[in-house]
């Protein structure tokens, strides 16, 4: 049997392995910044990817259209019955909105955590090996996308921007296993309760809302929205609905399972939410590392949301 490797090749291989292992550790250390060559590669590959993703989206859109065409009659019946209700709600809404504006004027409050500028984007690619829940979208720094911005679909929040290049950005989805990914959230209802979205239950495909003060009453079916208190996300983005309330491991605070409002599996068009009121810079000169446990939210890099 001939030898698998000659000596010279063996040495070459060993050197190659050492270089690659060094590269792996070098790039693992600093994954949330892309240096210039990385950015160029990402933009060029992203441009090519568009040529393939756009037709694919077109086809799936077409299939969806046909699908909804088939359901038109039933849907029409259902919607007509809700139309009456809608007019009343609409009238009330405009009334409330006007009153809200007037009250804001009186208080002299201009900034609102809820206001955001939408940046529409298409999903170029989903990380095909799917070990990490990441997607690449076709809007980048030159369109005003910045790191840590909230990303959502029409249904609700799906994640945040973790990396930007001039023409693409990478979005980490809520369904991630990354323990540093936290979102400051608010349970809506008669009494509002604050908590942090921390972690994802892969088996149940549900988010876990932790650190809710046990004095607050929360129950199943309540809606959870982003609170805007992390400094980067706008307030009021729908996250999901509570399905189960439990106490945490130490019995000090409550935690809840949340069924996400948005579907993470078939993503096509997303909206990047650029908050209008002052956004707090994600980094704070490394202070967050020390204060990580004390701060309401913020990960290793203070990337609270």
Q: Which of 121, 158, 242, 267 binds another protein (CB under 8 A)?
A: 267
Asked if residue 124 lies in contact with residue 49, where contact means CB atoms within 8 angstroms, the answer is yes
180 near another protein (CB under 8 A): no
If binding means CB under 8 A, how many residues of this protein chain bind another protein? 48
Q: Which of 116, 119, 121, 136 binds another protein (CB under 8 A)?
A: 136
| HSE-CB of 270 using CA atoms within 13 angstroms | 36
Cα→Cα distances 59→29, 50, 64, 122, 138, Å: 40, 14, 9, 14, 18
Lay out the site mask for another protein across 190-209 (x = CB under 8 A, - = otherwise). ------------x--x----
- C-alpha 77/C-alpha 74 separation (Å) is 5
Q: Which of 121, 126, 169, 298 binds another protein (CB under 8 A)?
A: 126
What is the number of other CB atoms lying within 10 angstroms of the CB of residue 112? 16
184 near another protein (CB under 8 A): no
**Residues whose CB is less than 8 angstroms from the CB of residue 89 and which lie 6 or more positions away in sequence, other chains included:** none
106 near another protein (CB under 8 A): no
SS3 136: strand
18 near another protein (CB under 8 A): no
3 near another protein (CB under 8 A): no
User: Quick one: 46 or 231, whose CB is closer to another protein?
Assistant: 46
259 near another protein (CB under 8 A): no
**Residues whose CB is less than 8 angstroms from the CB of residue 237 and which lie 6 or more positions away in sequence, other chains included:** 150, 152, 156, 157, 225, 226, 273
Range in contact with another protein (rule: CB under 8 A) among 44-52, 67-75, 82-90, 103-111? 44-52
SS3 185: strand
Q: Which of 266, 286, 287, 291 binds another protein (CB under 8 A)?
A: 266
Sign of the CA dihedral with 42 first, then 44, 48, and 54 last = positive
Structural Rg of the chain based on CA atoms: 23
Strand partners for 196: 184, 210
49 near another protein (CB under 8 A): yes
Lay out the site mask for another protein across 51-90 (x = CB under 8 A, - = otherwise). xxx--x----------------------------------
- C-alpha 116/C-alpha 119 separation (Å) is 9
Please report how close the Cβ of residue 214 comes to another protein at its closest, in angstroms: 27
Asked if residue 263 lies in contact with residue 227, where contact means CB atoms within 8 angstroms, the answer is no
132 near another protein (CB under 8 A): yes
User: Quick one: 174 or 185, whose CB is closer to another protein?
Assistant: 174
Enumerate binding residues for another protein (CB under 8 A): 1, 4, 16-17, 19-24, 26-28, 31, 34, 38, 41-42, 45-46, 48-49, 51-53, 56, 123-132, 134, 136, 163, 170, 177-178, 202, 205, 265-268
């Amino acid at each position: 049997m001939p030898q698998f490797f000659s000596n010279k090749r063996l040495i070459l291989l060993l050197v190659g392995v050492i270089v690659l292992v060094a590269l792996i550790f070098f790039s693992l250390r600093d994954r949330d910044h892309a240096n210039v060559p990385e950015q160029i590669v990402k933009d060029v590959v992203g441009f090519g990817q568009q040529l393939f993703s756009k037709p694919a989206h077109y086809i799936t859109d077409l299939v969806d259209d046909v699908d909804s065409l088939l359901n038109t009659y039933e849907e029409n019946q259902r919607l007509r019955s809700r139309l009456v209700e809608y007019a009343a709600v609409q009238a009330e809404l405009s009334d409330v909105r006007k009153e809200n504006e007037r009250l804001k004027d009186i208080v002299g409050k201009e900034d609102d955590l809820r206001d955001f500028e939408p940046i529409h984007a298409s999903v170029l690619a989903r990380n095909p090996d799917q070990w990490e829940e990441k997607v690449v979208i076709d809007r980048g720094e030159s369109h005003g996308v910045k790191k840590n911005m909230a990303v959502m679909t029409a249904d609700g929040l799906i994640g945040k921007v973790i990396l930007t290049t001039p023409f693409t950005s990478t979005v980490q989805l809520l369904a991630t296993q990354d323990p540093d990914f936290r979102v400051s959230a608010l349970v809506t209802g008669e009494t509002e309760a604050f908590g942090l979205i921390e972690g994802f239950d892969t088996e149940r495909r549900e988010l876990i809302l932790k650190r809710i003060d046990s004095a607050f009453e929360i129950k199943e079916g309540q809606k959870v929205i982003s609170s805007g208190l992390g400094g980067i996300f706008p307030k009021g983005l729908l996250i999901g609905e509570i399905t189960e309330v439990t106490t945490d491991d130490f019995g000090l605070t409550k935690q809840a399972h949340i069924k996400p409002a948005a579907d993470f599996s078939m993503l096509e068009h997303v909206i990047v939410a650029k908050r209008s009121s002052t956004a707090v810079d994600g980094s704070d000169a490394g202070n967050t590392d020390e204060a990580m446990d004390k701060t309401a939210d913020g990960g290793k890099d203070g990337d609270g949301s």
